[in-house]
Amino acid sequence: MLEIKDLHVRIADGGQDILRGINLTVPKGEVHAIMGPNGSGKSTLAYVLAGREDYEIVSGDILWDGESIVGMEPDERAAKGVFLAFQYPMEIPGVASMTFLRTAVNATRKKRGQAEFSVPEFLKIVRAKSAELGVKDEMLKRPLNVGFSGGEKKRMEVLQMALLEPTLCVLDETDSGLDIDAIRIVAEGANRLRSKDRAMLVITHYQRLLNYIVPDYVHVLAHGQIQKTGDKALALELEKSGYAQFKGKAA
Amino acid sequence: MNVALIKTKAEQFLASELQAKLAELPGSRAKRVEAMERFGARGLPHRQVEAWKYTDLRNILKDAGPVASAKVGGVVDRAGLDRVLGPFAALDTQRVVFIDGQLDSGLSELSGAFSVKPVQPALDAEGPVTSALPEQEAIVDLNRALVSAGVDVSVAAGAQISRPLLIVNLATSQTGAFVSIRHRLSIGADAAATVIEWHGAISEEARGQQTVVSDVVLGDRAALQHIQVGLEGRNRFSLVTTGCVLGAEASYRAFQLSASVALARRQSFIRYDGEGGKIDISGLMLAHGSEHCDTTLVIDHAVPSCESREHFKAVLNDAARAVFQAKVIVRQDAQKTDGKQMANALMLSPAAEFDSKPELEIYADDVVCGHGATVAEIDEDMLFYLRSRGIPEGTARALLIESFATEVLDKIEDERVRESLRQVVLGWLATGVAGDAS
């Protein structure tokens, strides 16, 4: 279970708080969506969960499986099962995608006390999961994300998620820049990972993605706070009414 | 204004060494004395000399060791040599081995696809008439005065040699000798060959200085892949000068690796003598501690329709310093010249320094010439991305540095040679990049 308790966060260089007292609980087996306007703090929340250093936790706590992950290194969090699918996955020239995947999976397995995969074992697993996501062999030979289309990058994110077998999946604007066909492929990949042992936090600006990844709960994030919580109907309602109603509510 | 030059300790010592060893050194004494006089008139180059602005040799080279006129240090056998050659030992090559400035015939294979002759008689020669080496160059003069050995390598016209020539230049002295070697390489018309120059030391305790001067002449349509592996040692000072003249449609592909040398200056003077020549020179400078690595290129587009490509990278840790200065001269007649150069440095420490000095001297009007340089630290966004996938920080950093450094190796066409160089680079990264490898 993910428990975010009265979380206040600002950029490490100082300035105003971006998150101003977030309270959120996501039990395993559930999918929660976070919707909000631009600048509401959605991506900040995603990065803070993954352990990015550019942010300062002013107060509050984040517990995963009852343990505080605030202060944990990003790779430690990954070993604990936290995974962030990036809105803008990084292009890493010179590092072949396959090499990266094997390094990541084996480092994580090692930390989890599982046996590392041999090259042939790993190839077999990657081939199977890649086929499900329409990730071609040729993509795996190329440097990570370099020259990939928007859709290819997002499929690569979901492939990583499938291989690393996280228990907390955070999807940050996974639909941004994708056409309907690409959204469907990526969403199907994410849906395949839905299970009673996994919590999922889907961050999105638009309701569209939630047609494919149907959430159990929808939270509206604006001005650094959760403004409203409802079921999937709330997303449809927001599509009509917009986010304007939440402006200025947090003083 | 005529100012009497006050000679440094090193300059005085080198002049006295020539006097003391003149009888033992091979070849014409008069030419040696002349060369030393030319050198002595200006001394070691210093920062007020434009070409040495970033490498103040006069200040850096405070001491010089005794001139190697006969074998110094220990004897090296084949197994011992193979150990220091590392990945290059396994390559199938025709070897020519110099130990402390002397040709070791026992470890060398002089007759093979490459014709290799000790250059003793050639020491007196001024070099090939077409030499691209500048006249009155301090290091070349110093080398002329003190040279102890070298080889004259030739490849017959039309020969296609797949087995590379490996010229090993090994230092064993722990007290520090001053070694001077001079080579001549002549690749006949339509011939193709690979020459690997390997500079190294028997152990990290090896000390001393060296000058190595090579004169390369490529016939029309000749193709040479020239690999220079610089592992001289963290207590050694190395000055490597290469001159190369290209005939029409000749191809010179060079790669220069420098890893952990106290001071390395690799200067290449390249000139096109025939139209349609192509050069591609790239390299990697790896330095840490207070090491200093200088790559200097002078490329003379003397004739039309030639192409030059230069791409160097540097990985610098601690207070290490790398210099990349590349001058491209395009003569008035050299229309349709196509020249590009690029330098990229990765700084692993705020105290590291990278000096990039591109110089384009263009006198023709129909040319394409460009240059670029980047200096960067490890990209924190990339690092976070890798770490968020469970890769520990040390491994993630190593992966990013490796990908930066090894990219330039792709320029090397020979897969075996490329793989050997990759092993050297990975070895350096494992030890030269002090990090939190976890």
The per-residue pLDDT for range B137-190, each reduced to its tens digit, is 999 999 999 999 999 999 999 999 999 999 999 999 888 899 999 999 999 999
Whether residue B86 has pLDDT greater than 90: yes
> Looking at A49-63, A169-183, B237-251, B422-436, which range is the least confident one?
B422-436
Q: What is the pLDDT of residue B438?
A: 35
Rounded distance between C-alpha atoms, residue B334 and residue B323, angstroms: 28
DSSP letter string over B87-117?
GGTSS--EEEEEETTEE-GGG---BSSSEEE
Whether residue B432 has pLDDT greater than 80: no
pTM, rounded to two decimals: 0.88
For B177-320, where are the E strands, in sequence order? 177-187, 192-201, 208-218, 223-231, 236-246, 251-259, 263-272, 278-287, 292-301, 307-316
Do the strands A2-11 and A55-64 form a parallel or antiparallel pair, or are they unpaired? Answer: antiparallel
SS3 B333: coil
Average pLDDT over residues A3-32: 94
- A chain contacts of residue B386, beta-carbon cutoff 8 Å: 92, 100, 104
Q: What is the pLDDT of residue B431?
A: 82
Is A93's CB within 8 Å of B389's CB? Answer: no
ipTM associated with this complex: 0.96
Whether residue B2 has pLDDT greater than 90: no
Backbone angles phi, psi at A218, to 5 degrees: -125, 130
Gap from B387 CA to chain A (nearest CA, Å) = 5
Nearest CA in chain A to B391: A104
Rounded distance between C-alpha atoms, residue B420 and residue B417, angstroms: 5
Nearest by CB to A84, which of B388, B392, B395?
B388
Torsion over CA of A89, A92, A98 and A99, rounded to 10 degrees?
A: -130
Is B382's CB within 8 Å of A50's CB? Answer: no
Average pLDDT over residues A142-170: 95
Higher pLDDT, B438 or A197: A197
> Looking at A29-38, A73-82, B30-39, B124-133, which range is the least confident one?
B124-133
Query: Is A103 within 8 Å of chain B by CB?
Result: yes
Q: What is the pLDDT of residue B25?
A: 87
Gap from B312 CA to chain A (nearest CA, Å) = 16
Q: What is the pLDDT of residue B437?
A: 37
Rounded distance between C-alpha atoms, residue B346 and residue B408, angstroms: 13
Segment A59-85, tens digit of pLDDT: 999 999 999 999 999 999 999 999 999
Closest CA to A85 of A9, A26, A192, A164: A164
Is B393's CB within 8 Å of A86's CB? Answer: no
Here the contacts of B38-47 (C-beta below 8 Å, separation 24 or greater) are B38/B136, B38/B141, B39/B138, B39/B141, B39/B142, B39/B145, B40/B7, B40/B11, B40/B15, B41/B5, B42/B5, B42/B138, B43/B5, B43/B7, B43/B8, B43/B11, B43/B138, B44/B8, B44/B10, B44/B11, B44/B138, B45/B138, B45/B139
Report the percent of chain B where pLDDT is more than 90.
85
Whether residue B200 has pLDDT greater than 70: yes
Q: What is the pLDDT of residue B28?
A: 85
Nearest CA in chain B to A88: B385
Whether residue B436 has pLDDT greater than 50: no
Under the banding of pLDDT at 50, 70 and 90, the label for residue A14 is: confident
Is A93's CB within 8 Å of B388's CB? Answer: no
Question: In the structure encoding, which two tokens stand for residue B227, read together?
Answer: 């690999």
Which residues have a Cβ under 8 Å from the Cβ of A160 and sit 6 or more positions away? Answer: A83, A85, A101, A104, B389
Under the banding of pLDDT at 50, 70 and 90, the label for residue B6 is: confident
Q: What is the pLDDT of residue A39?
A: 87
Nearest CA in chain B to A159: B389
Whether residue A240 has pLDDT greater than 60: yes
Instruction: With beta carbons less than 8 A apart as the criterion, state whether A217 and A30 touch.
Output: yes
Rg of chain B, C-alpha, whole Å: 21
Under the banding of pLDDT at 50, 70 and 90, the label for residue B358 is: very high
Q: What is the pLDDT of residue B141?
A: 94
Please say whether the dihedral angle defined by the alpha carbons of residues B78, B83, B84 and B88, taken in this order, is positive or negative: positive
Report the percent of chain A where pLDDT is more than 70.
98
Question: In the structure encoding, which two tokens stand for residue B105, read together?
Answer: 């015939």
SS3 A1: coil
Rounded distance between C-alpha atoms, residue A49 and residue A63, angstroms: 10
Rounded distance between C-alpha atoms, residue A88 and residue A95, angstroms: 18
- A chain contacts of residue B392, beta-carbon cutoff 8 Å: 75, 107
- A chain contacts of residue B389, beta-carbon cutoff 8 Å: 75, 78, 100, 104, 108, 160, 164
Instruction: With beta carbons less than 8 A apart as the criterion, state whether B420 and B88 touch.
Output: yes
Average pLDDT over residues A14-33: 94
Average pLDDT over residues B87-95: 97
Instruction: With beta carbons less than 8 A apart as the criterion, state whether B324 and B353 touch.
Output: no
Nearest by CB to B390, which of A53, A143, A164?
A164
Q: What is the pLDDT of residue B128?
A: 64
Rounded distance between C-alpha atoms, residue B417 and residue B229, angstroms: 11
Size of interface A-B (CB pairs under 8 A): 70
Helix (H) / strand (E) containing B429: helix B415-432
Which residues have a Cβ under 8 Å from the Cβ of B360 and sit 6 or more positions away? Answer: B327, B328, B330, B339, B369, B371
SS3 A244: helix
CB half-sphere exposure, B158, CA atoms < 13 A: 0
Under the banding of pLDDT at 50, 70 and 90, the label for residue B74 is: low
Is A93's CB within 8 Å of B385's CB? Answer: no
Helix (H) / strand (E) containing B42: helix B29-42
Nearest by CB to B390, which of A53, A86, A108?
A108
Instruction: With beta carbons less than 8 A apart as the criterion, state whether A55 and A41 touch.
Output: no
Which residues have a Cβ under 8 Å from the Cβ of A211 and sit 6 or more positions away? Answer: none
Whether residue A33 has pLDDT greater than 60: yes
Is B390's CB within 8 Å of A50's CB? Answer: no
Other Cβ atoms within 10 Å of B110 Cβ, number: 16
Bridge partners of A55, per DSSP, are: A11
Under the banding of pLDDT at 50, 70 and 90, the label for residue B27 is: confident
Average pLDDT over residues B243-266: 97
SS3 A140: helix
Under the banding of pLDDT at 50, 70 and 90, the label for residue B393 is: very high
Whether residue A251 has pLDDT greater than 90: no
Instruction: With beta carbons less than 8 A apart as the criterion, state whether A47 and A84 touch.
Output: yes
Rounded distance between C-alpha atoms, residue A40 and residue A34, angstroms: 11
Q: What is the pLDDT of residue B210?
A: 97
Segment B314-355, tens digit of pLDDT: 999 999 999 999 999 999 999 999 999 999 999 999 999 999
Q: What is the pLDDT of residue B421?
A: 96
Is B389's CB within 8 Å of A164's CB? Answer: yes
Question: In the structure encoding, which two tokens stand for residue A210, read together?
Answer: 């939630």
